[in-house]
Structure 1
Amino acid sequence: MLKIIRRVLRLSGDLSKRIWGSFVCGFLESMFGLLPIAAVFIVLTELQAGHPITGQTWGIVICLIAGGLLLRILFKYLVYRLQSTAGFEFVARERIALGDRLRNVPMGFFHDNSMGDITATVTTDLNFLENYSMHILDKVTTGVLSMIVMAACILTFDWRIGLIFVAGILLSFPIYSFMQRKGKDLSAKRQKIQSEAVAATLEYVQGISVVKSFNMCDKNLSDIEDAYEKNADAAYDVERVFTPLNMTYSLVFRIAACVIMLFAGILAAHGDLSFANLAVILIASFTIFNPIEVMGQMTTMIRTMDAALDRVERIKKAKKIDEDGKNIVLDSFDIAFQHVSFAYENGNPILKDVSFSIPQGSMTAIVGPSGGGKTTITRLIARFWDVQEGSITVGGHNVKEFTCDSLLENMSMVFQNVYLFRDTIENNIKFGCPDATHEQVVEAAKKACCHDFISALPQGYDTVIGEGGSTLSGGEKQRISIARAMLKDAPIILLDEATASVDPENEVHLQQAISALVKNKTLIVIAHRLSTIRDADQILVVDNGKIVEKGVHAELIQQKGIYQNFWNIRQRARDWKLAK
């Protein structure tokens, strides 16, 4: 319990002062709640002594009651003010920290960790921390401090009653300890099941077009229904286990309170306790255990909070791919692969001892059968992964020497699977160059042959597109991504089937636009349409992870091999027509 408090304070950094302030204010608010009992004690003491209740006494009583109420309101306000600002800012920082970390981890991280687990961490876990973490810590610290202060006060007031109070607390410790252990196990299990439910939801939503196309809307619900049922069962298990534990924990304090009242009555009957003291003890016995009882009832939330912090810290501790990188400013933009071998996490080699160089300002095309390693080459240049053997240099520097930002600011990329954000078309085009003017955006869109269809939309460039570009066709999305690359105007351009989803009418215009875009730039193109790379400075033919052919178009079509075979197939395909 105290470990969790220290953990949050450590993570909160400079916000810990506000959190400490909220703890102090919460404790004072709890203590000022005892002032009305003190007022009752004063009145009863005066009456027992046979003194008339004077105006001065009434003034003190009213001040204690009103003062206690006003001070509780004031300190409760301060608690909420300090907790809310600290809690929201703390979680906001954690969200930003997670975003930065995820942006800089190797792509293999997303292979080793399920998308459901990552999504649940940055949504469900952080939402829980945002809404409940400060409230939980306040109740825990108030309970602990109140327990200590109450014990001291009651022991001073009457040591015999104080011993019963302390005995009640000590009897609750084994139950509380057991609740903590059970809570830790159940919270971890529940969070794992929640992640699986999130993953099932994401998979179903992302694959809904496939589900509908195969008319499997009813049958395909089985997995997601199972995930939701498991989630419901896990929540039920928590309640089933903790309901009797919470009742037992509370019962200890109820019994202790009854013992206090009974023993106080016996002492008063024997003349060992004054009427005023008896009345105060009877009144206090209903409330003195409340802070400790509330602390125990929050066990499941404490353990859920602990598990949430575990998952957040697990992502924050993920090794950055540029952990030791430096901000390097390049003055040349040639690229070289030197004996590069690479395999993804499953261990199957994708590239095997690959070596080639791309001079600055040249165009290099990469072709070959599917699965040969073409796209992997571009991903390694951008350092989405690190190679296991060999080295990749950009401008004479090993890509491992760069930070991600300093490397990628030199590159514009258009990949085959285009992703657009749920934002305006203009902001999507400006994504790599946020300071661009509207005129620059329009100019890039015209070059990418997408100005006309954008202008025809109801809000033009201010039209908000669906998540992932779902409201646009494949060709429209690809043209917008090309406009985005054009606007960034980076010295290195990576194009992976940039014209794959573009109709023949626009392909000619796009090729002209790309020619203007790549002028004096280092260009790497992956293409299946060989007609688009006829003018490349060099063509690399990749098959089964190796470069099996290298040269220019005129040379390669004369050599018997994969490139010549591809070219002949394409030529025959151009003359293909349906038989009548």
Structure 2
Amino acid sequence: MTGQTTIAPSQDVRSDVDSLRRVWALAGLQRGKGLRGKVLRGILYRFFQSLSLGLAFGAMIWVVIDLAAGQVLDWARIGQVCAIVAVSLIGQTVFSYLSAMNAWLASFELASDLRLAILDHLRRLPMGFHLARHKGDTVTVLTSDMQMLESFLSDALPRIAQAFGLPVIVLGYLAWRDWPVALAALVSIALGLPLFAWTSRRLALLGIRRQDTQAEAGARMIEYVQGMAVIRAFNRLAKGEESFRAALADFRDISVRMVMQLTLPLVLFGAVVSLGVPLVMLAAGARNLDGAIDTGTLVTALVLVFSLYSPLLALISVMELTRMADASLTRIDRIMTAQSPPLPVSPKEPQGFAVRFENAGFSYVAGKPVLTDMSFAVPERTMTAVVGPSGSGKSTVLNLLARFWDVDEGRITIGGVDIREMSEERLNSLITVVFQDVFLFTGTVFDNIAFARPGATQAEVEDAAKAACAHDFIMLLPQGYQTRIDEGGGNLSGGERQRISIARAILKGAPIVLLDEATAAIDPTNERAVQQALTSLVAAKTLIVVAHKLGTIRAADQILVVGEGRIAESGSHDALMAAGGRYSNLWNARARSESWRIEGHSSNLATRAH
């Protein structure tokens, strides 16, 4: 993209003018392609198409006036009329084609640019923004809302321009022939506009609710499909459908309510505008009886009156699409106006890779601190383990260091530099995160590993896979490194997915590794392979590991025990065991759990053996 457009804060309801301004601002997101020019040409060509239709009406009026004046048609006049009609038809065809081409191209390019802009903005937003939203909400913005915006640009906006082309010509002609008749024609339009504006505003309110409800239904559908294994395992198919059905029922109800509440106002608008027909007939007839206009003008007014109001009444058919597009713009604004973490004006370069937390405080929810006044140091090229009970804030430490969130108080430094004073790209290049829950993209094994370093060669990818103890099982796959991975890595075991993710981390080669215990949910056979892979990953790195299995961190240079959002204890394994504090209690509790067994289950097995 070649330029950025500042987007105004989102409003729940905006006027039609505001909506057009918003579309115009979005069209300016990519100035290099002349997107605004395409939008304007699409509108103007459709307006010219309507003007071309006016030529045919003009030819007809010409004939009517001559006949009303008692003139007789000759072949010359017939030829002239046919030529005008032919030009009208050619103009309508050419301008219709040009309008469609420009409008459709503009809609596709704008939707493409806007999707990219949204995705780029989403990756910069704090994780709290994403966790507070349904997955289906963001997906709906990128799909249904974008499709609604495409339809508005490619169809509704040109049709609005077309609706005004012919009436402008008709009103101009009537004003030229007799301004009182033209004024009578404007009366019903002036009376109908406030009703149209009120109806449009009411539709905007319902439109936003409808789009939000549709997103909720999409979220429930995604949740139902993704949770199918759990639903079936617990025989809760009917229960699983319940929330999805409820969301669909809400979407149906809001759609029906929209139709029911808008039918009467739209009918009233059509009736008010249509009153212009008898008004024009009355005014023209009265003017003719008074001798103010001749018969030709009277006949012209009676012929043109229907062509004046019919296009305006056609606006009713595009009103819903226009307001739905406006609702989609509002939902897009909710993402684009969300505040991303501030970027430094003059990014600083760290001196080394030592990590420090200095009086760091953080809350996911205001008033409920997760970390309070947390301070510790991780020397460069050492291993630090973070342990503690569930909910103590262990994973939050990794999330803050990776800047998925920003601390509320204090600061976090790498190489003596506050991570908020580094560029986003530089911070990301310094840190590799290996999550417990591995995510693999749909694509080949090669693509998933090379994701860490675009442009990596086959040899580099294979070397990383070998270091991660993944090369052997990859070569046993049907197409080796070109084997396609199902969504989420469904065709691989947990250990295989984990080793591919570690190969990806090894290929990145970042000096700081954050490890959310990667072996916590892996069987013993895979655990040995993963542990060996991790040894290759963390060699000569600054390592911070959140430990769920205490036996994996005995060799750590230091162990941090987190409790109530603070560092309760710190030291080596032996020192902490000797102190007899929280770490010692955690260690002993873990030892007891490993020797625990279900006696009744063991007795049953023994009975069966006999």
Distance 1:325 1:467 in 2: 39
Residue 94 of structure 1 is aligned with which of 111, 114, 123?
114
Name the residue aligned to 2:23.
8
Distance 1:118 1:231 in 2: 17
Q: Does structure 1 retain, via aligned residues, the 8 Å contact 2:124–2:341?
A: yes
Name the residue aligned to 1:555.
575
Equivalent runs, 1:497-512 vs 2, <5 Å = 497-512=517-532
Quote how far apart the aligned CAs of 1:485 are.
0.8
Give the 3-state SS of the residue equivalent to 1:540 in structure 2. strand
Name the residue aligned to 1:427.
447
Distance 1:565 1:145 in 2: 82
Instruction: Tell me which amino acid in the other structure corresponds to 1:2.
Output: V
Residue 173 of structure 2 is aligned with which of 147, 153, 170?
153
Instruction: Tell me which amino acid in the other structure corresponds to 2:311.
Output: P
Distance 1:41 1:91 in 2: 44
Q: Does structure 1 retain, via aligned residues, the 8 Å contact 2:50–2:165?
A: no
Larger deviation, residues 534-543 vs 412-421: 534-543
Equivalent runs, 1:270-309 vs 2, <5 Å = 276-309=296-329
Equivalent runs, 1:482-561 vs 2, <5 Å = 482-561=502-581
Larger deviation, residues 257-266 vs 209-218: 257-266
Instruction: Tell me which amino acid in the other structure corresponds to 1:140.
Output: I
Distance 1:5 1:150 in 2: 26
TM-score of the superposition, structure 1-length normalised? 0.92
Equivalent runs, 1:559-578 vs 2, <5 Å = 559-571=579-591
Name the residue aligned to 1:240.
260
Structure 1's 451 and 502: CA in aligned 2 closer, same or farther, altered over 3 A?
Answer: farther
- Pairing 1:382–2:397 present: no
Name the residue aligned to 1:206.
226
Give the 3-state SS of the residue equivalent to 1:250 in structure 2. helix
- What stretches of structure 1 of length at least 5 have no aligned partner? none
Residue 254 of structure 1 is aligned with which of 254, 264, 274?
274
Quote how far apart the aligned CAs of 1:407 are.
0.9
Instruction: Tell me which amino acid in the other structure corresponds to 1:58.
Output: I
Larger deviation, residues 167-176 vs 187-196: 187-196
- Pairing 1:38–2:53 present: no
Give the 3-state SS of the residue equivalent to 2:352 in structure 1. coil
Instruction: Tell me which amino acid in the other structure corresponds to 2:372.
Output: K
Equivalent runs, 1:21-420 vs 2, <5 Å = 21-48=41-68, 53-144=73-164, 147-261=167-281, 264=284, 276-324=296-344, 327-345=347-365, 347-420=367-440
Distance 2:560 2:443 in 1: 38
- Aligned-pair Cα RMSD in Å: 2.6
Q: Does structure 2 retain, via aligned residues, the 8 Å contact 1:482–1:498?
A: no
Give the 3-state SS of the residue equivalent to 1:458 in structure 2. coil
Give the length in aligned residue pairs.
580
Q: Does structure 2 retain, via aligned residues, the 8 Å contact 1:374–1:542?
A: yes
Larger deviation, residues 467-476 vs 378-387: 467-476
Quote how far apart the aligned CAs of 1:500 are.
2.2
Give the 3-state SS of the residue equivalent to 2:579 in structure 1. coil
Quote how far apart the aligned CAs of 1:54 are.
4.2
Quote how far apart the aligned CAs of 1:541 are.
1.9
Q: Does structure 2 retain, via aligned residues, the 8 Å contact 1:322–1:403?
A: no
Aligned sequence identity (%): 38
Distance 2:310 2:67 in 1: 29
Q: Does structure 2 retain, via aligned residues, the 8 Å contact 1:83–1:134?
A: yes
Quote how far apart the aligned CAs of 1:494 are.
0.8
Report Cα offsets for 1:396-448 as digits up to 9, x if no partner.
11111123332112111111122222222222222221211223222222322
Instruction: Tell me which amino acid in the other structure corresponds to 2:543.
Output: L
Larger deviation, residues 139-148 vs 242-251: 139-148
Distance 1:150 1:283 in 2: 10
- What stretches of structure 2 of length at least 5 have no aligned partner? 1-15
Quote how far apart the aligned CAs of 1:570 are.
4.8
Distance 1:324 1:95 in 2: 26
Name the residue aligned to 1:480.
500
Report Cα offsets for 1:435-481 as digits up to 9, x if no partner.
11223222222322233333333333333333333333322222221
Instruction: Tell me which amino acid in the other structure corresponds to 1:403.
Output: S
Distance 1:426 1:310 in 2: 40
Structure 1's 110 and 325: CA in aligned 2 closer, same or farther, altered over 3 A?
Answer: farther
Name the residue aligned to 1:445.
465
Distance 1:232 1:556 in 2: 61
